[in-house]
Structure 1
Amino acid sequence: MAADGSALSGSLLTSEALEQAVKNAQAALSNRQNADGHWVYELEADATIPAEYVLLEHFLDKIDDPLQQKIGNYLRRIQSDEHDGWPLYHDGQFDLSASVKAYFALKAIGDDINAPHMARARKAILSHGGAARANVFTRFQLALFGEVPWRALPVMPVELMLLPRKAFFSVWNMSYWSRVVIAPLTVLAALKPVAVNPRQIRVRELFVAPPETVTDWIRGPYRSAWGHVFKGIDSALRVVTPFIPAKTHKKAIKAAVDFIEPRLNGEDGLGAIYPAMANVVMMYRAMGVPDNDPRAMTALKSVQNLLVIKEHEAYCQPCVSPIWDTGLSGHAMIEAASGPQGIAPEKTREELSKAVSWLRDKQILSVKGDWAINKPDLAPGGWAFQYGNDYYPDVDDTAVVGMLLHREGDPKSTEAIERARQWIIGMQSTNGGWGAFDIDNNKEMLNHIPFSDHGALLDPPTADVTARCISFLAQLGHTEDRQVIERGLDYLRKDQEKDGSWFGRWGTNYIYGTWSVLCAFNAAGISHDDPAVIKAVEWLRSVQREDGGWGEDCASYEGAARGVYKKSLPSQTAWGALGLMAAGRRDDPAVAKAMSWLASQQDENGEWQEDPYNAVGFPKVFYLRYHGYKQFFPLFALSRYRNLEKSNSRRVDFGF
């Protein structure tokens, strides 16, 4: 309902109601800002990370029973009533691996296996082939607890850490997230530790056949014929690796540790992502590092910092997103502050100044991260996604923050913007696009090795990240950057889908990708009547819902219809409307309907509610729910709609 209690969906939004919606949303977002100027919202994944955290405590024999009971409440709540297991996102289909981990965790927490929810979950797991058919990372968890033999895993010898950059299987050819997860994992695979598991929790009941009788743990389905080839290589490695000299083995373990320890980020953890951080905790234990060693203590603390603990529930985040949240919140606030009355411009300027100052201090200027393997002469200048992750700045975050600093206009930001500009230009891949963390990270064949059953070992260029980089460079307006921009635009034109949309690698999904690219086209001066723009606009119109909103199911990553969901969602409605406005269609009735729908869904606190997931870590494998998206994107859209009403050209002046 609107702030005044009236239903606005389906009717035109008056300028007064629009202004009130903006004012209320801006006040709500302002109230969420931290004292030092930054924003950070919860970042939620599926059952796997909370379940893994429970098992980590049992691995270490450091069990916090009150906390585990709260995590149990969370896991029970998100169990599906339709298929009795656990999905990868809200209302999603049964996922075997998530269900195995959630069941294991609940049993460890103390749930009776004959309780109705456990019996239903067990039946669903067995009907899908049982725990033996779970993915590689789940089988790794099971191996750590002695539930499956180590031969259940693909061969990932620690000697990988000795391979040079030019070697095909080198970790330097993998994405940042793969690199930081694999490094400690190879040490664990080499040492083969067994969890303390003080309560001796076992899950043999989840196997169709006893694990020791399973002879073929790696049986596909394969993505291509290369899968069969790499399975053959895996079989050969099983014969060869036992004969690797002990001296070489020891040298490889040292190489892994030498890679890991400079990248630990203190309490932000290795790679600042849960799987890598948890693997380091277990690695130190397996290596015999005492629990009171500062390295082990800090590694465990970094994991615990990801916990979200509430009165009755708790869960563990996969990572935190303060740079991203602050950058996007700042854009929404600055858009809202561009309006005339009732917004307290001075207060907003102070809030933006604090946010920008906080962001400037977080720019990575002295560390050459892993990206420098491909660009050794490029000076650092990016921002990470998390509070601290200096070896792994994020191209997408850097572009968003750079645009915000430029829009805010503080002369103190001049050097930061230029350093970011140079870094972004240097990070362009040879095909004209940009990846999230690396350059030319596109050896697609690696996604066919047995370890990569998730198909996300790489970080190739994507439309959404490329669009943000183009938007940033175009907003700055340096004529010498035009060739770089044109190469990026060529990449985007080639990447457009036949229906006119663009795939959204990091946000759900085609609505997100299409909005991102339309912003880039607008910023780069592409005509609103360009055929690619017209095609994208028509696609957005075609998937708009009757109530005026947009929504898209995460199942679109799995082959379901694009741009479609059973209900409209605040974040995706904002993306759809922002995309049309970037394409010069501010006065399109579709945009007016979207604004009315957004206003009608705003609650009395000036906020919006959204349960479905709105982003993705790895398509088909790992999905995300940014709790901030439903707040700052609707404010951004409503404010831009209002501001363009007062613009003679109806043209967006900034890249984002």
Structure 2
Amino acid sequence: MSLTSDPSPATPAAQPTSARSGFLSDRRGRSERSAVAGPLLVTTRPGARPGRPALLPDPAAQTSQIATSRIATSRIDFVDPAGTPVVDPAERPSLAGPAGLAGPLATASGPAAARLAMPGLSLPDLGLPGRETIGGVAAQAAAATANARDYLLSLQAEDGWWKGELETNVTMDAEDLMLRQFLGILTPQVAAESGRWLRSRQLPDGSWPTFYGGPGDLSTTLEAYIGLRLAGDEPDAPHMLAAASFVRAGGGLAATRVFTRIWMALFGEWSWDEVPVLPPEIVLLPPWVPLNVYDFGCWARQTVVALTIVGHFRPVRSLGFTIDELKVDAPRPPLAPLASWTGAFQRLDAVLRRYQRHPVRTLRSLALRRATEWVVARQEADGGWGGIQPPWVYSIMALHLMGYPMNHPVLVAAMEGLDGFVIREPAGDDGDGDGDGDMVRRLEACQSPVWDTALAVVALADAGLDAHHPAMRKAGQWLLDEEVTIPGDWRVRRPNLEPGGWAFEFANDIYPDVDDTAEVVLAIQRLLHSGLDEVDPAAARQARGAVERAVNWSVGMRSSSGAWGAFDADNVQKLATKIPFCDFGEVIDPPSADVTAHMVEMLADLGRADHPVTQRAVRWLLDNQEPGGSWFGRWGVNHVYGTGAVVPALIGAGVAADHPAIRAAVRWLVAHQHPDGGWGEDLRSYRDDAWVGRGEPTPSQTAWALLALLAADPTNEAVETGVRWLCATQRPDGGWDEPYYTGTGFPWDFSINYHLYRLVFPLTALGRYVTLTGRSAA
């Protein structure tokens, strides 16, 4: 093994260890995972959350207007530090429907707020009169709700949380094998178990897709092929010949994404001279300079910083074989016109490449030191970075190249944490002649306990459980203990904002997000409205404080447009999307309809539908409706998800049910319902408009459509047929099957099957429907 560039890693004495040693000594570890219960991954309980050292905000960060909150009874008031309204009341949009219909937004407070388990409904027991068949459907729905509720309760961890498996694609497993090969720690057992999983996912044409039912993907197939070679599969085996043929037909290694070519450069199968350059000096740029690291979304930011270190060293390790069979001689494409973004960045890349060969040594040394400190400072309690695989893997390699040995506490924690994302289970008879005793190994790209737990609490509350139920109290306390109370990268753009809110994962304090925060507040509010003060006054006081901090933080995180992205405010610099390095999906975090809708729903839930912050966000949502009546889904697939999030939020915020935007959304949903009553939308809708609203029906997408219709038009015939579909497709144990992916990390480029979605969303929809009919789940 050798390094082909400057072999000058930092010495162990120079490694920044104090930050991580503090994390190890005063924060919990969460590496105990992977007990499987049913179709959901249930993990053993991590401990309680102590504090962690705060990151220092960048002194060059720009100051922006910050909203603070005060909670008085059920109302939330937002003022800036000077005490003036955040949005001038004169800017308040008129949200009246057609003439003679509902006008200004209403404020929900006091007793009215207690019905918010049914957003958008003026009464909790409408009864849906006038339909002869409604009684039979309601009885079926009540039984299905009870079954789903009991099944969800059975999946709760002892300490109160839920976590479904987060299924993605086989690049996670192939890259895990390549990482271990790079570090010299790949074992025959890991290779064999991962190889079984990779083989089980291959399509008949030899390729691997990025989502269930999707087409083969070139980069994924090449990486899976490498993984199977590392597992011992011979290149002349039929399944390997088919894979190699697919890769060559797609243009070979040269046509793959940048990440795949970086992996191949790490093993000498691609030239580092052909990898787009990002020098580590980027970490020295202040936040007001274009293409500084804070111009990237948090997931890309952590990946980019780590890879700048890797790119400096240009390491080459041995795979133990070559992959000449995957290479195709293809002419180099001509340079794009200089006047285009592509052409301009191609020329810039050439300049950076020359600098990369001969950097200013003092500046490069400073940049490497700062980048290393930046990476180490962001390692989380579970040993990872951002709670997701890409920055986790590249940070391990970067720190190792900087001189960290594998027995250093930073890397020990990192590898133990990564092992906590592994799922091992019996393979069954996989045709290898070894019977049923073999194990299969796969890796989650991320874990979603906070998100899943909040969704579960909302679903159970809407199905009739209240704060008196032990499961609800345990879940509520676990969520309260997961509150983030330290600043993170978001403070670069919002330096005066106090921390609050929640992250998605067990451990990701540096990157809480608005979407999780809104959903957790909705869950906590359901507990507060259903008797938490009576059963646990101390928890109720803690909950109100957490909600106040969360609302303050999340309102302060809105972008200048009045809407919200997920992790950062005003992370909209499109220049970052143009550089050759960033061809792997979303690299910025602009406002989205679904996150903004969840914030609007949360604010309306808190009795602030009429506040200018809420109304400005409502106007943004109305302005961003698609021409056909739907809304685009950033974090869920796709227009069904966006519309299912936005319509209940708008109704809850006081937009009239007969408002043209609401009627257009209802028409769109009804027009895209399957004849059998379900809804489905394929991930290909992100690339091809012909797929918008079209796809095999799924339980989660059917539930999203129903949530919108129940809020806006509960007597629509489509509601009954949708409910019938959910009842008919429910399994005897109370769950549903859903092989199709309905979540996204990056639209089209990285797709997710959240295994709990198929349960929590149908339960929410059925619970609300049962409440509307005046029944209750048994």
Instruction: Mark the CA change 1:537 to 1:556 in structure 2 (over 3 Å): closer, same or farther.
Output: same
**Residues 1:533 and 2:652 aligned together:** no
1:577–1:637 Cα contact (<8 Å) kept: yes
**Residues 1:645 and 2:773 aligned together:** yes
Displacement after TM superposition at 1:310 (Å): 1.1
2:171–2:223 Cα contact (<8 Å) kept: yes
Equivalent AA in structure 1 for residue 276 of structure 2: P
Equivalent AA in structure 1 for residue 169 of structure 2: D
Q: 2:481 aligns with which of 358, 361, 370?
A: 361
- Partner of 1:182: helix, strand, or coil? helix
Report the equivalent of 2:512. 393
Equivalent AA in structure 2 for residue 41 of structure 1: G
Report the equivalent of 1:75. 198
Report the equivalent of 1:232. 347
Displacement after TM superposition at 1:454 (Å): 2.6
Report the equivalent of 1:469. 599
Report the equivalent of 2:719. 591
CA distance in structure 2 between the aligned counterparts of 1:563 and 1:155, rounded to whole angstroms: 37
Displacement after TM superposition at 1:560 (Å): 4.0
Report the equivalent of 1:290. 405
2:165–2:755 Cα contact (<8 Å) kept: yes
CA distance in structure 2 between the aligned counterparts of 1:215 and 1:237, rounded to whole angstroms: 23
CA distance in structure 2 between the aligned counterparts of 1:11 and 1:421, rounded to whole angstroms: 40
- Partner of 1:434: helix, strand, or coil? coil
1:13–1:592 Cα contact (<8 Å) kept: no
Q: 1:418 aligns with which of 522, 526, 548?
A: 548
Displacement after TM superposition at 1:386 (Å): 0.5
Report the equivalent of 1:336. 463
2:191–2:230 Cα contact (<8 Å) kept: no
Displacement after TM superposition at 1:474 (Å): 1.0
Equivalent AA in structure 1 for residue 666 of structure 2: V
2:640–2:693 Cα contact (<8 Å) kept: no
- Give unpaired runs (5+ residues) of structure 1: 1-9, 339-344, 648-656
CA distance in structure 2 between the aligned counterparts of 1:525 and 1:350, rounded to whole angstroms: 34
Displacement after TM superposition at 1:268 (Å): 4.4
- Partner of 1:271: helix, strand, or coil? coil
1:323–1:359 Cα contact (<8 Å) kept: yes
CA distance in structure 2 between the aligned counterparts of 1:76 and 1:572, rounded to whole angstroms: 30
Q: 2:567 aligns with which of 437, 456, 472?
A: 437
Instruction: Mark the CA change 1:121 to 1:155 in structure 2 (over 3 Å): closer, same or farther.
Output: same
CA distance in structure 1 between the aligned counterparts of 2:185 and 2:562, rounded to whole angstroms: 49
CA distance in structure 2 between the aligned counterparts of 1:236 and 1:215, rounded to whole angstroms: 22
1:448–1:455 Cα contact (<8 Å) kept: no
CA distance in structure 2 between the aligned counterparts of 1:622 and 1:25, rounded to whole angstroms: 29
Report the equivalent of 1:53. 176
Equivalent AA in structure 2 for residue 283 of structure 1: A
Equivalent AA in structure 1 for residue 243 of structure 2: A
5 Å-filtered alignment, 1:470-489, equals: 470-478=600-608, 482-489=611-618
Report the equivalent of 2:3. none
2:312–2:356 Cα contact (<8 Å) kept: no
Q: 1:165 aligns with which of 279, 284, 287?
A: 287
Displacement after TM superposition at 1:143 (Å): 0.7
Instruction: Mark the CA change 1:13 to 1:163 in structure 2 (over 3 Å): closer, same or farther.
Output: farther
Report the equivalent of 1:5. none
5 Å-filtered alignment, 1:150-549, equals: 150-195=272-317, 197=319, 200-209=320-329, 216=332, 225-312=340-427, 313-337=440-464, 349-365=469-485, 367-409=486-528, 410=532, 411-412=540-541, 413-478=543-608, 482-549=611-678
Displacement after TM superposition at 1:16 (Å): 2.8
Task: After the TM superposition, list the runs of 4 or more consecutive aligned residues in structure 1 that deviate by more than 6 angstroms.
Answer: 217-220
Displacement after TM superposition at 1:539 (Å): 0.2
Q: 2:759 aligns with which of 626, 631, 645?
A: 631
- Partner of 2:581: helix, strand, or coil? helix
Q: 1:621 aligns with which of 749, 755, 758?
A: 749
Q: Deviation per CA, 1:174-207, whole angstroms, max 9, x where unpaired? A: 110011111111111111222354xx13222110
Structure 1 stretch 25-34 or stretch 65-74: which is displaced more? 65-74
Report the equivalent of 1:342. none
Displacement after TM superposition at 1:375 (Å): 0.7
- Partner of 2:637: helix, strand, or coil? coil
- Partner of 2:315: helix, strand, or coil? coil
Displacement after TM superposition at 1:14 (Å): 3.4
TM-score, normalization: structure 2? 0.77
Displacement after TM superposition at 1:128 (Å): 0.7
RMSD: 2.0
2:137–2:720 Cα contact (<8 Å) kept: no
Equivalent AA in structure 2 for residue 350 of structure 1: P
Q: Deviation per CA, 1:529-561, whole angstroms, max 9, x where unpaired? A: 000000000000000000000011000011143
Q: 1:577 aligns with which of 698, 706, 710?
A: 706
More contact order relative to length (CA 8 Å, sep ≥ 6): 2
- Partner of 1:310: helix, strand, or coil? strand
5 Å-filtered alignment, 1:28-67, equals: 28-67=151-190
Structure 1 stretch 234-243 or stretch 92-101: which is displaced more? 234-243
CA distance in structure 1 between the aligned counterparts of 2:333 and 2:513, rounded to whole angstroms: 36
Q: How many residues align?
A: 620
- The sequence identity of aligned pairs, in percent, is 37
Displacement after TM superposition at 1:332 (Å): 0.5
2:672–2:693 Cα contact (<8 Å) kept: yes
Displacement after TM superposition at 1:579 (Å): 1.0
Q: 2:212 aligns with which of 71, 90, 93?
A: 90
- Which structure is larger by alpha-carbon Rg, 1 or 2? 2
CA distance in structure 2 between the aligned counterparts of 1:463 and 1:586, rounded to whole angstroms: 23
